A = this chain, B = another copy of it.
Amino acid sequence: MLSDRQLLILKIIVDDFIRSGQPVGSRTLSKKEQITFSSATIRNEMADLEELGFIEKTHISSGRVPSQKGYRYYVDHLLPPVRLTQKDVQTIQSIFHEQIYELEKLIQKSAQILSDLTNYTTVVLGPSVKEHKLKTIQIIPLNAETAVAIIVTDTGYVEKHVVTLPPSIPPSDVEKMVNILNERLTGVPLEDLTDKIQTEVAHVLREHIQSYDHMLRMISSSLDLNAPAQMFLSGKMNMLRQPEFSDIDKLRALFNIIEQEKEFYRLLRKHNQQGIQVKIGTENDVEGMENCSLITATYSVGGEKLGTIAVLGPTRMEYSRVISLLNLVATDLSKALTMWYQKD
């Protein structure tokens, strides 16, 4: 469909615009060494490319800028192979070489390194806690009225919840209840806990302890997980450096979306297949993200998807570099986690 020469021109336009942020004109192009023909020819080709929707002008006599379709084509067919610098590779691997035992820390560190290296914003969706299996429940009375309920999963995830105790409940009852819960619920995925309690635990509790229904309500409420999966953000402020957000209003609009987290959650959840996914501008289908691209990758353990890691930047993003970096981080993270999970 597109001639080789058109592809060449499109590629150079995108590359140059990503680098400089300035519209690219025929004169600039004709000076590139890869180009052997004149600026007039380029102008003709550019007119065609524009008609086909791959590039556009900012005003009637300006140079050309990639359109969303142009970026799309570039990402799909023209990505230059990138060789990451030795330094980048080392920086990334350094996180995974030191032993980190906490899932969250490892994820946070990955996000941070990625946002530092790219100068964009990184978002990570943690493993869905719902699938983690219960290791133990503890209820620790703080005073006569309140206690803190602690849930620990097999992954080392800890969630706490302060609850009220029924007035004048014997301490032995609390202990009894904890024993019953642990006995029956250890190994059960968190998402099934509520069901399991109703079907298998409720009647046992009823027999053994006072204030049965208060306690049951209490334990149910503390098991009712608020966050289905944790989200980690790193390098939000990097967006301040992007010239496309030098306008305070655009910046505010973007930060509103970022801070809400809701949309990101949705976007990251959507990525289900393996591999890298690039969503450009309106492809994200979020108002206010027209000027942004989101590159997502999944990380997994033994082929099973655990979570998603993504880089958010302007549509004028260093796709090639970001994809390589993201790829490396995602695979290294997967490897690290696989090792980690295998210890069980």
> Which residues of chain A have a CB within 8 Å of any CB of chain B?
101-102, 135-136, 138, 140, 142-146, 148, 150, 152, 154-156, 158, 160, 162-164, 237, 240-241, 246, 248, 251-252, 255-256, 259, 343-344
Q: Which of B136, B150, B158, B162 contacts A102 (CB 8 A)?
A: B162
With A101-B163, A144-B343, A146-B343 given, can you name 6 additional A-B contacts, CB distance below 8 Å? A101-B162, A142-B156, A143-B343, A145-B343, A148-B158, A240-B251
Q: Which of A135, A145, A162, A240 has the most CB of B within 10 A?
A: A162
The binding surface of chain A is classed by DSSP as mixed
Closest to A99 in B: B164
Please give, as numbers and ranges, the residues of chain B lying within 8 Å of A163 by CB-CB distance. Answer: 101
| Distance to closest chain B CB from A84 (angstroms) | 27
Q: How far is the CB of A63 from chain B (nearest CB, A)?
A: 25
What chain B residues lie within 8 Å of A101 (beta carbons)? 146, 162-164
List the B side residues contacting A144 at CB < 8 Å.
Answer: 343
Closest to A144 in B: B343
Does A148 lie within 8 Å of B140, measured CB to CB? no
Decide: A140 and B152 in contact? CB cutoff 8 A: yes
Point out the residue from B145, B160, B248 that lies within 8 Å of A158, measured CB to CB.
B160
State A102–B164 Cα separation when bound (angstroms).
Answer: 11
Could you list 10 A-B pairs, sorted by A, with CB under 8 Å?
A: A101-B162, A102-B162, A138-B150, A143-B343, A148-B152, A150-B158, A156-B160, A237-B252, A237-B255, A240-B252
Residues on the B chain within 8 Å of A145, using CB: 343
CA A315 to CA B154, docked complex, whole Å: 51
A136 to B150, CA, bound (A): 12
A140 to B145, CA, bound (A): 26
